[in-house]
Amino acid sequence: MSLQRIARWRHVGGGVDVNGVVVSKPYELQRAELIDALCQRYGALPSQVLAEDIEIIRILAMVEAGRIDG
């Protein structure tokens, strides 16, 4: 995990760097946010969320991604 990439995203996320490349949200941060959201929503520990079958996590991620209000 690159804390540097996350700090860069926090400061200029969605912006363009000096090379003309859009600064996108790092995958590691997206994954951490998904796990955190699932933990909060279902009152589970990260270890419990990660122990679930990946298909369940994919389905829940699709539900979250498709929400209009969030």
pLDDT band at 13 (very low <50, low <70, confident <90, very high): confident
pLDDT at 63 (0 to 100): 85
Domain ranges of the chain: 3-65
CB 57 within 8 A of CB 46: no
Residue 10 has pLDDT above 60, yes or no: yes
Tokens matching residue 14: 């969605």
pTM above 0.85, yes or no: no
Give tens-digit pLDDT for 16-63: 888 888 999 999 999 899 889 889 989 999 999 999 888 987 887 788
